[in-house]
A and B are shown apart, each in its own frame.
Chain A
Amino acid sequence: MSTAALIVTLGSVVLAALLALMMIPVLVWLERRIAGLIQDRVGPNRTNIMGFRLGGVIQSFADVIKLVFKEEYYPGHIQTGRALYILAPAITFSAALLAFMTIPFADTLHVSGEALRIQALPVDYGILWYLAIGALGIIGVLFGGWLSHNKYALLGTQRAGSMGLSYELPLGLAVVSMLLTYNTIDFNAMVAWQTQTVLGFLPAWGVVVQPLAFILFSVALFAETNRAPFNVVEGESEIVSGHMTEFSAMKFALYFMGEYIAMNSAAAVIITMFFGGYQLPYLSSAELIESFGTFSLALMVITPLIIYAFIRWMRRNNDVRSTLSHDGGRRFEARVLTIVLLIKLVVLELIFAYFAFAQPSALQTQIAVAVVQIAVFIVKLMLFNIFFIVVRWTLPRFRFDQVQRLGWYYLLPLGLLNIFITAIVIVGVGS
């Protein structure tokens, strides 16, 4: 393997692992913070490292440390299958992590004749891999819940198994209609297809071309990842924690992390298939590489404005009420973060100036475009994760029979209808 291929592969693997694993504390923090702000209260804001709260992210790290150091307790009533009982959360966690590995973060780099994919697993059957490995995640839930030898775990397991199975059908049907539209199973080609325009001015994103498939896919993914309003599996007020009741410390942490990674990959797949993935709305990769000079100039102008607005917002909000005298180090933190952001701004401006005014080589432009696309991907990913979280704190939980009814009576026929309509439109437009 050439050095370029080696660097790109290693970099993609590191990026995918970081995005999947480092996103977990961020997602936990976002969940608690957004839940608080929606309910007119603040989320966690006390844990700090030497005064640095960072909005409460430190709380997630404290949670991780607690889970790691908790006592590993094996309940005495679990006599059979202890090895499988310990292995089950690992199965769910590995399946969730592996399913994330075929998502492209940037367009394929063409370096000295080679086509290097920016995917952790550089394969061209991304969507099928996601479906197959995603189905593996339910196995861990089934084994863990059954071997827990617990009534509540049994109820949760039954619900999880049948719900996961029922919603794989609308999921697959929505995917089939998208495969018909995009004519490929490769995520990169799907994203490239979405750089066209529809009706002259709308970007040909999946959500514009196939709104029904988007709704089906999103609802099915909400159900597959056991996120509200489909969290009847971990009822919390009904069946304690469902299949996770008898698991403690690291085993529970693996289930917990597996759920958040699954939510993350679900958001990633949705944005890749329906929202243009790593692309900016009207620019394809080739156009971006050509016009990267002007793009850098535009970024040079926009970035200071964004950072200035962010610093103002931060200084105003990282403060306590004026009636209080003690601010717990918040103003100090705001000042330090302002300095850090200004240093970053200077560095970024230098980089953008280099790309706007000096003549960078083709390779450097390609790498810069890849970095921009990764940044766009991460921004879209965070937006979709926030959407998942806001929906969780908006909707009440569905009852289990309502969930099954929705999946079999409404979503399955709608999926089939969507495939028929898509096929008719494609044949009609093609001829």
Chain B
Amino acid sequence: MKIRVVQRHGTALKDRLYLPAIWQGLKITATHLLKNVGDIKSVDVLEYPEEQPSDITNRYRGLHRLTHREDGSVRCVACYMCATACPAGCIFIEAAERTDGVDEKMPSRFAIDTLECVFCGYCVEACPCDAIRMDTGIFSLIGSRREDFVLEKEQLLAHKGAFDE
């Protein structure tokens, strides 16, 4: 049977005194403080809203948008897959007969309640037609009433993708 002796930390006098450790911690914080006070520009901080974030990639899940086909018609066929997959239950779809003859169904009402949305991206994964995407890169939605945060079909169709396909 092999015996392994484990060194216990914190039993030396220097550790139990606690003051040397406090002194080392104070040195670190004091260096940071003096460096940043001496030159405020050494603080790596984003001056929002004058500077916008520069690290929005094409994987970033921003606000949703509904996509169009090449001929300009709405891709969405109101199959309810996204509404079913949504864990927050924030997608409200009402189907209607398609008028431009491309497919059978299209949504007459497609609403997303962004106050309930958790921006998980399950709707994008569930959609079989690549109709809903979250690549607008919009991270800030402002409104003054609760109703402003429910995005209707027209608003969702109007959002543009921020990246190339």
Chain A interface residues toward B at CB < 8 A: 34, 37-42, 215, 313, 316-317, 319-321, 323-324, 326, 328, 390-391, 393-395
Chain A nearest CB from B106 CB (Å) reads 45
Interface set, chain B 28-56, CB cutoff 8 A to A: 28-30, 32-33, 36-41, 43-45, 47, 50-51
Q: Give the CA-CA distance A324 to B37 in the complex, in Å.
A: 21
Can you identify 17 A-B contacts, CB atoms within 8 angstroms? A34-B33, A37-B32, A38-B29, A39-B32, A40-B32, A40-B44, A42-B45, A215-B19, A319-B41, A323-B51, A324-B47, A324-B51, A326-B50, A394-B25, A394-B26, A394-B28, A395-B22
Residues of B within 8 A of A215 (CB): 19
Q: Is B22 a contact partner of A394 (Cβ separation < 8 A)?
A: yes
Residues of B within 8 A of A321 (CB): 41, 47, 51
Q: Give the CA-CA distance A321 to B46 in the complex, in Å.
A: 10
The closest CB in chain B to the CB of A229 belongs to B22
Interface set, chain B 107-143, CB cutoff 8 A to A: none
The closest CB in chain B to the CB of A323 belongs to B51
Q: Is A393 a contact partner of B29 (Cβ separation < 8 A)?
A: yes
Residues of A within 8 A of B50 (CB): 320, 324, 326, 328
Residues of A within 8 A of B19 (CB): 215
Contact A40/B36 with A321-B47, A324-B50, A393-B29 known, Cβ cut-off 8 Å = yes
Residues of A within 8 A of B28 (CB): 394
Q: Is B40 a contact partner of A317 (Cβ separation < 8 A)?
A: yes
Residues of A within 8 A of B33 (CB): 34, 37-38, 390
The closest CB in chain A to the CB of B37 belongs to A37
Q: Give the CA-CA distance A395 to B23 in the complex, in Å.
A: 10
Q: Is A42 a contact partner of B26 (Cβ separation < 8 A)?
A: no
Chain B nearest CB from A177 CB (Å) reads 19
Chain A nearest CB from B28 CB (Å) reads 8
The closest CB in chain B to the CB of A328 belongs to B50
Q: Give the CA-CA distance A279 to B41 in the complex, in Å.
A: 37
The closest CB in chain B to the CB of A40 belongs to B43
Q: Is A394 a contact partner of B29 (Cβ separation < 8 A)?
A: yes
Chain A nearest CB from B21 CB (Å) reads 9
Q: Is A41 a contact partner of B43 (Cβ separation < 8 A)?
A: yes
Which residue of A39, A313, A317, A391 is within 8 Å of B26 (Cβ)? Answer: A391
Chain B nearest CB from A73 CB (Å) reads 24
Q: Is A317 a contact partner of B32 (Cβ separation < 8 A)?
A: no
Q: Give the CA-CA distance A391 to B7 in the complex, in Å.
A: 30
Contact A41/B25 with A316-B39, A320-B50, A390-B33 known, Cβ cut-off 8 Å = no
Q: Give the CA-CA distance A429 to B5 in the complex, in Å.
A: 51
Q: Is B47 a contact partner of A37 (Cβ separation < 8 A)?
A: no
Known: A42-B45, A317-B41, A320-B50. 8 other contacts (CB 8 A): A38-B29, A40-B32, A41-B45, A320-B47, A328-B50, A390-B29, A391-B26, A394-B25
Q: Give the CA-CA distance A35 to B49 in the complex, in Å.
A: 22
Which 8 residue pairs are nearest across A and B when measured between Cβ atoms? A37-B36, A317-B40, A394-B29, A394-B25, A38-B29, A38-B33, A324-B50, A38-B32
The closest CB in chain A to the CB of B36 belongs to A37
Q: Give the CA-CA distance A324 to B47 in the complex, in Å.
A: 9
Q: Is A390 a contact partner of B45 (Cβ separation < 8 A)?
A: no
Chain B nearest CB from A2 CB (Å) reads 47
Q: Give the CA-CA distance A39 to B41 in the complex, in Å.
A: 14
Residues of A within 8 A of B43 (CB): 37, 40-42
Residues of B within 8 A of A391 (CB): 22, 26
The closest CB in chain A to the CB of B26 belongs to A394
Contact A395/B47 with A317-B39, A321-B41 known, Cβ cut-off 8 Å = no
Q: Is A390 a contact partner of B30 (Cβ separation < 8 A)?
A: yes
The closest CB in chain A to the CB of B32 belongs to A38
Chain A nearest CB from B89 CB (Å) reads 31
Chain B nearest CB from A333 CB (Å) reads 14
Chain A nearest CB from B11 CB (Å) reads 15
Residues of A within 8 A of B51 (CB): 321, 323-324
Q: Give the CA-CA distance A267 to B26 in the complex, in Å.
A: 18
Interface set, chain B 71-110, CB cutoff 8 A to A: none
Q: Give the CA-CA distance A319 to B47 in the complex, in Å.
A: 12
The closest CB in chain B to the CB of A327 belongs to B50
The closest CB in chain A to the CB of B44 belongs to A40
Q: Give the CA-CA distance A20 to B15 in the complex, in Å.
A: 38
The closest CB in chain B to the CB of A321 belongs to B41
Residues of B within 8 A of A34 (CB): 33
Contact A395/B39 with A34-B33, A324-B50, A326-B50 known, Cβ cut-off 8 Å = no
Chain B nearest CB from A54 CB (Å) reads 14
The closest CB in chain B to the CB of A34 belongs to B33
The closest CB in chain A to the CB of B27 belongs to A394
The closest CB in chain B to the CB of A396 belongs to B25
Residues of B within 8 A of A37 (CB): 32-33, 36-37, 43
The closest CB in chain B to the CB of A324 belongs to B50
Chain B nearest CB from A322 CB (Å) reads 9
Residues of A within 8 A of B32 (CB): 37-40
Q: Give the CA-CA distance A260 to B19 in the complex, in Å.
A: 25
Chain B nearest CB from A358 CB (Å) reads 39
